[in-house]
Amino acid sequence: MPPQPESLKGVETSVGGCAATLDYDTELMIQVREGHEASFGLLLEKHRSSVVHFLYRMVENQAVAEELAQEVFLRVYRSRSTYEPTAKFTTWLFRIATHLALNSLRDGKHERRQESLDNASDEAPSRQVSDSRPSAEALMVREAKMEEVRRAVAALPEKQRAAVLMHKYQEMDYAQIAKALHTSESAVKSLLFRAYETLRARLAHMG
């Protein structure tokens, strides 16, 4: 029986009392393993946005990002019975997400860079009419900067991009990123150093 969001509130109290030898997410996942399926809802609630956002920044397509994110959580749920807390839950979660994102990019099954950002840039002129002139200009400058950042990140090789996204937005440490990318810590440091070197060349003038 799939977990239902309505039943989450009762679980929150019982889970909240757990002693924290393991991190909270791992505790929740162990509860999911033991049949407490509503704990899955708590994990979903907590990590839904970060997983979708990570995947969106990887594949640049909202529909594909959400499809992949659903597959990530589906895999988490389906593997609950064999789950062992050998790594931090988020490391495992982003390992699955990274694996799926890299596969999806490799297969090239989708168009990158679709509607949402295009719409955002289309919206700028219409806002210009109603907004006062300085804030409309500020908005356009901001849109242009966003686009520049987007292009710079999108131009990074896929593994470098994944490493930067986990380092910057998920605040994962080198060891966690290494596990997620199935590589060594020194390789991750080198990936990040090269990625930031490229980004500095393209974006440092924005400071």
Partner 1 sequence: MNCPSRGRENPELLLDYSAAKLPRQLAAELEAHLHECRACSELVAQQQAVWSALDLLAAPEVSATFDRELYNRIGQQDSWWSRLIRPIRPALVLWRGPLVAATCLVITAGIVLEFGVPQEHKATSVEIVQPEQVVHALDDIEMFESFDHSVPPASSIPEL
Of the two residues 17 and 86, which places its CB atom closer to partner 1 in the complex?
86
Query: What DSSP string describes the chain?
Result: ----GGGHHHHHHHHHT---SS-HHHHHHHHHHTT-THHHHHHHHHHHHHHHHHHHHHH--HHHHHHHHHHHHHHHHHTGGG---SS-HHHHHHHHHHHHHHHHHHHT-S-SS-HHHHHHHHHHHHHHHHS-HHHHHHHHHHHHHHHHHHHHHHTS-HHHHHHHHHHHTS---HHHHHHHHTS-HHHHHHHHHHHHHHHHHHHGGG-
Query: Mask 140-179, x = binds partner 1 (CB under 8 A)?
Result: --x--xx-xxx--x----------x--xxx----x----x
Q: Binding partner 1 by CB under 8 A: which of 13, 21, 86, 130? A: 86
Q: Binding partner 1 by CB under 8 A: which of 59, 69, 172, 191? A: 69
Q: Binding partner 1 by CB under 8 A: which of 48, 124, 158, 187? A: 48
206 binds partner 1 (CB under 8 A): yes
Minimum distance of partner 1 from residue 96's CB (angstroms): 6
Of the two residues 17 and 82, which places its CB atom closer to partner 1 in the complex?
82
Of the two residues 62 and 128, which places its CB atom closer to partner 1 in the complex?
62
96 binds partner 1 (CB under 8 A): yes
For residue 169, the number of C-alpha atoms closer than 13 Å in the C-beta half-sphere is: 19
Which residues of this chain interact with partner 1, rule CB under 8 A? 1-5, 44, 48-49, 52-53, 56-57, 62, 66, 69-71, 73-79, 81-87, 92, 95-96, 99, 116, 142, 145-146, 148-150, 153, 164, 167-169, 174, 179, 182, 189, 192-193, 196, 199-200, 203-207
